[in-house]
Amino acid sequence: MSEFGSRLRELRRAAGLTMEQLAESSGVSARAISDMERGHSRVPQARTLAALTDVLGPGLKDTARPGLCEPPRAINDFVGRADELDRLRRHALAGTGQAPVAVVHGQPGLGKTALAVRFADQVRDDYPGGRFYLDLRGTDPEPMPTGDALVRLLRALEVNPRRIGETDDERSSQLRAVLSDRRCLLVLDNAGSEAQVRPLLPGEGGSLAVVTSRRVLAGLEGVERIALAPLVPGESAALLRAIAVQAADPGVVAEVEAVARYCAHLPLALRIAGTRLATRPAWTVEHLVTRLADADRRLATLATGDIGVATAFALSHAQLSKPARELFRRLAHVPGVDFAPALAAVLTGAHPDDAADGLDELVDLGLLQQSGPDRYRFHDLIRLFAQERLRIEEPAGTRAATARRMACWLLETAIVAGRWFEPGYGCLPPDYAGPVPLATADEADAWLQAERDNWLGALRTAARGGQHQLVVDVAEAMHWYSDKYIRAEYWYDVYGLSRAAAAELPDRRQEVTHINYFSWAATNCARRPDEGARIAMDAHRVAVDIGDVKEQAWALRYAGDAWRLAGNPAAALPAYRQSAELAVAAGDHDGYVQLRPGIARALAELGRDEEALAECTAALAEIEALPVAPRPALGARLNARITMAACLSRLGRWAEALRVAEESLPVAEEYGYAGYLGEVHLTIGRARIGLGAPEAARPSLHLARDLLRDLPLSNLQALTRESLQALS
């Protein structure tokens, strides 16, 4: 309640009047009187004050001066933030003697001020000492000096100007003393730093301070930090509907969702988009979608009057140091969603430690988000702003050179990491001196997965730029590694690019190799076995034409895989057998040992389990006898054992099936492919049911169901469901 409101109520009651009686006598509405008494409206206009004074006497005029530090008008169409508002309420009630302080922080445009003002409006009756708002102008070139802020708050708290202290320390002490005796709410908006805001915070007592800032203000101790995120899709749509009548039409739900996506669910962007729509009655939501779809014009579209998304971002950008500004704009080159500090260092040529400091500066100012340990990402609209700054601040030649340096580093690192899984390499080159730790296969795998979108983006850029041999080299380095993630669809893209690149090079043996890889990707990754078979037979014709026996063998093997996965093991079996003969003739031991389990699988799928068992036994013996590289040996050994265990299950030899499957389990875990691991757990579960231990079977079958769920192995999924149903 404001001082004016308190005095109005006091004088009305002293006169023995109800609100309705005062309204009738003065001509001022009862609702207006109620709002004034509760502090819901500002100091009244002169005519209203004169009318009230005529009834209540001159005592009201003394309190009718313009209020200092009054909160701004709350937004009527405020949407969402229920959890954050609830956290603020709970924190306000968590009294420990010290006055509670909450810091609401986040990137520009998230609605930090709107949230704080909304909260202040909701709890106005809980703070009879008054609600006070102060914009600290933390994003201005010259933020409000702490001394000025203290003077404003003390004057708003009705401290006699002549008694206000001379120094900031004295004023801060006075502020704490006044707040300790009153229950007040301070909204300290747009704080620039801990040093600016710390002297303004209450000490002991029942007051509450809500601080908003683009910075985390990590130096403030004992505060509740509430990090704002973009709105969820439903809230974004609700905000647009609340602002613009066109968005409330049930027939434009999809278009409203598209606007929300283009606004990246940022409240400021949504409000601007909704306002543009609302102030242009001739526009449809589809018209707005079309405008926002142009990424180069999106930031310009998200501006109206004196506010704009880019303007909000620019306030934070202006506070960056020169190295951080360079880093910010160059991060726009990153092709993926997120990245690590090593990539930031490559973009600027800085030492990794300096790059990490720059990233922290960007995070602190809300221009970058931390998405995990040592991982960073842009909000979509801030990425567009970074791209805009890049175009404005760096010439085309510099931009191109930076992009090439980044792409080359990503692809060269990908080659080193991928070769950990190549039979001919399997280790780190002795001269490797890169900033990324790749000392083990696990580290190489972790980097390839974490930076997948980035090295894939760089690969596409290299393909568009005609760097054909580099594209082929990267794809070649991934050949054996790709088996670890055999169902990942991006391999279809990788080997489609390498096939096209190899076709532009003079080495036809290299070309047929990558046609074969593309066949494998079409069958196993894109799940298009008919296409995979056609590509494999194209590869076979080229291999025959150039006399490459090894690639003939691989082509027939990939054709056999495609036919078998398409449900035609009868066509696959002779292809596998011919492929095995060619592999022996070519001396390709790695390829040969993988074919024998393939033959066994085809036999098993034809119902010839005894023959399949014999093939598996022979295959396991040859894997141990032949000079085979570790990774191919691991895959062939695992495949043979999985097939053997499944055959034993179908033959009802449950104890043998369980033993072989359990022996296969650590090998499947080491290999890392979910499909193989799911098959092993399925056989373990079925064998335990067959041995009369259904409860022991249940955990393995549940694991099998989860591991096989997203894989195109419908026969195994069906068998898992049947086995689980047998337990119910």
Residues 222 and 89 in one domain: yes
Both structure tokens of 503: 């076709």
Residues 160 and 197 both lie in one domain = yes
In a domain, 484, yes or no: no
Question: What is the Rg, in whole angstroms, of the alpha carbon atoms belonging to the chain?
Answer: 35
The candidate with the shortest Cα–Cα distance to 201, out of 231, 222, 228, 227, is 222
Amino acid identity of 447?
A: W
Pair (294, 331) in one structural domain: no
Helix axes 267-278, 309-317, angle to 10 degrees: 150
d(CA 689, CA 722): 12
Collapsing DSSP to helix, strand or coil, 251 comes out as helix
Report residue 320 as tokens. Answer: 């960056």
Assess whether 120 and 177 both reside in one domain.
Answer: yes
pLDDT of residue 714: 66
Residue where one domain finishes, among candidates 305, 337, 360? 305
- Residue 712's pLDDT is 61
Distance CA 83, CA 198 (A): 26
Let me know if residue 33 belongs to a domain.
Answer: yes
293 found inside a domain: yes
Give the pLDDT score at 62.
Answer: 57
Q: Are 159 and 266 in a shared domain? A: no
The predicted pLDDT at position 25 comes to: 84
193 plus 263 within the same structural domain: no
Q: Which domain holds residue 30?
A: 3-63
Residues 6 or more apart whose Cβ sits within 8 Å of residue 488: 482, 525
Q: How many domains does the chain have?
A: 6
Q: Which two tokens stand for residue 424?
A: 């001919």
Domain boundary among 421, 446, 465: 465
650 domain-assigned: no
Edge-to-edge strand ranges of the sheet holding 101-105: 131-135, 185-189, 208-213, 101-105, 224-227
Sites in the chain below the pLDDT cut of 70 = 1-3, 39-47, 59-67, 95-96, 711-714
Give the CATH number of the domain where residue 152 resides.
3.40.50.300
User: What does the alpha-carbon distance between residue 418 and residue 63 come to, in Å, rounded to a whole number?
Assistant: 76
Looking at the fold, whether 389 and 417 belong to one and the same domain comes out as no
Same domain, 283 and 155: no
User: DSSP states of 488-537 as a string?
Assistant: -THHHHHHHHHHHHHHTSS-HHHHHHHHHHHHHHHHHTS--HHHHHHHHH
Identify the domain boundary among 227, 257, 272.
227
User: Could you tell me the CATH number of the domain that includes residue 36?
Assistant: 1.10.260.40
Say how far apart CA 350 and CA 355 lie, in whole Å: 6
Beta bridge partners of 372: 375
**Does 281 reside within a domain?**
yes
Could you tell me if residue 210 is inside a domain? yes
DSSP 506: S
Strands in 351-469 per DSSP E? 369-372, 375-377
Q: Which of 509, 600, 596, 595 is nearest to 557 (CA)?
A: 595
In a domain, 612, yes or no: no
pLDDT of residue 160: 82
Tell me if 529 is assigned to some domain. Answer: no
CB 187 within 8 A of CB 71: yes
Same domain for 205 and 124: yes
CB atoms within 10 A of CB 162: 5
Residue 350's CATH number: 1.10.10.10
87/147 same-domain check = yes
Question: What pLDDT is stored for residue 41 in this prediction?
Answer: 53
Q: Are residues 106 and 202 in the same domain?
A: yes
Query: Which amino acid is located at 495 in the chain?
Result: Y
Nearest to 725 by CA among 672, 684, 686: 686
d(CA 284, CA 249): 10
Burial status of residue 82 (CB atoms within 10 A of its CB: 0-12, 13-18, 19 or more): exposed
The kind and range of the H/E element at 401 are helix 396-418
Same domain, 255 and 385: no
